[in-house]
Structure 1
């Protein structure tokens, strides 16, 4: 693996691996695009070498040719957004097929996900940018594609093989397919549901399982992911109130992805929570209703995507996320001007808003 001297780093280069200090704390996460602040920070921490994947220009390539670094241009944001929008649009067609009572063939659904599989397995540029884009289509379709993407990534972070990653992504895509049989006046209600309406909504997991079980070639693990994605390890979920040892591995993956996506999305009756706020929620719930190990794996990996984002703190100051911590991914290190605030120690400070998310 290629190492580059920190003194030779330039803004725009991409880290190939996490950078750790002597205590095993992540300083900057893998796949971060380095800026001048990152580089100066690495120098202050006396880091000598880092693994670099890419830079933006041919001059970068020539200046580091002795290290045999391979450089790739990242997709433009418009290219990434187009890929994402296309996936959402195609899924809308599949959803409407189910709604009309026509069950799509397995290959049609797989065709939708092929670009997604490729992105999850090989394209870090896509996965890094997808957190910043949203479809302009209906929430149901945008949410399903986003849950699919995150489910596949989480499966990858959990070290599953390619088949396991694809099954997780497919279960994520289809997890809410049962909602096509929920009355529109309930599904699209611009406000919280009452008790009776919620009882109807809760049937969507079972309805989804019934819809997809007759699709030839679909994996049983995918079916369980759809059926059980609202179950909880402490038995408080639905439709059957099963506990963690009865839940499929796939369902545990999709449940974490579903919670994260739902809470970070704007709804008519509820504004989106920022990712670090959701991380705090998941950390609290992973000790009870969500799978502990899977939740920690998810948060420790996803937090890397927010390094470099600007935030506003609850004291009104604005700064940049410099690094995140595996032991507490909800409370990162923030640089405000020339000062650094470790939110693990400054318990009076909270991130109030993500300014570039």
Structure 2
């Protein structure tokens, strides 16, 4: 059995992580709360799929820190109540890459590779497209093994991020109900279909639906 609090509390109390989380919370409380929820959801889904303790822990860190790059995006753009312009969308879509650049600490080298890919398992992927990723996978065997591990973890982070974003109230939208969430995810998520069923059936204490 996964005890989320016992796992996430030590992660949140890590000195560097705590510093990053304070910056996120001071910048935008909604983003901070989303990061905590995403960390718990990702660890739960990884546990359900028999990932190793190390992988579960990596996803916990990735969930907490995945949106650190939003600190480099003007808050007024993130809080727009109207539809974003194409230029504003491009700015927001830089946040995975900005998160990657911010997390340059030696201990976060694998974590940031998971984070930069958390919007790359959807029909309109960014910052890299699906074809960009395929080119990068034509590497030597050792590198490919490592990339496959990162891909596996990023896929979990991606669907959990998509789910929580759809289920949450934002300044520009109301939370969607479970049927609406399922319809959106089935249309947009390009990863393994089993994760769709699993994320739609998370326990109520982890779900916002």
TM-score by length of structure 2 reads 0.73
Contact 2:82 2:172 in 1 (8 A): yes
Aligned to 1:194: 85
1:235-274 to 2 correspondence within 5 Å? 236-242=124-130, 248-274=151-177
Aligned to 1:351: none
Aligned to 2:37: 146
Contact 1:190 1:268 in 2 (8 A): yes
1:217 partner SS: helix
Aligned counterparts of 1:97 and 1:285: Cα–Cα separation in 2: 31
- Of the three residues 202, 206, 218, the one matched with 2:108 is 218
- Larger radius of gyration between Structure 1 and Structure 2: 1
- Of the three residues 149, 160, 167, the one matched with 2:58 is 167
Higher relative CO (CA 8 A, sep ≥ 6), structure 1 or 2? 2
5+ residue gaps in structure 2? 138-149
5+ residue gaps in structure 1? 1-15, 17-79, 101-136, 307-353
- Structure holding more helix per residue: 2
Contact 1:231 1:238 in 2 (8 A): yes
Contact 1:265 1:271 in 2 (8 A): yes
- Structure holding more strand per residue: 1
Query: Once the two structures are superposed, what CA deviation does each residue of 1:251-275 show, in whole Å capped at 9, x if it has no partner?
Result: 1111101111101111122110123
Aligned counterparts of 1:281 and 1:158: Cα–Cα separation in 2: 23
Aligned to 1:317: none
- Of the three residues 6, 15, 20, the one matched with 1:94 is 20
Cα distance, 1:142 vs structure 2: 0.9
- Cα RMSD (Å) of the superposition? 3.2
Contact 2:24 2:31 in 1 (8 A): no
Aligned to 1:305: 204
Cα distance, 1:148 vs structure 2: 0.9
Contact 1:151 1:168 in 2 (8 A): yes
CA distance 1:144–1:98, shift in 2 (3 Å): closer
Aligned to 2:116: 227
Contact 1:157 1:298 in 2 (8 A): no
Aligned to 2:147: none
Cα distance, 1:242 vs structure 2: 2.3
Aligned counterparts of 2:24 and 2:31: Cα–Cα separation in 1: 14
TM-score by length of structure 1 reads 0.45
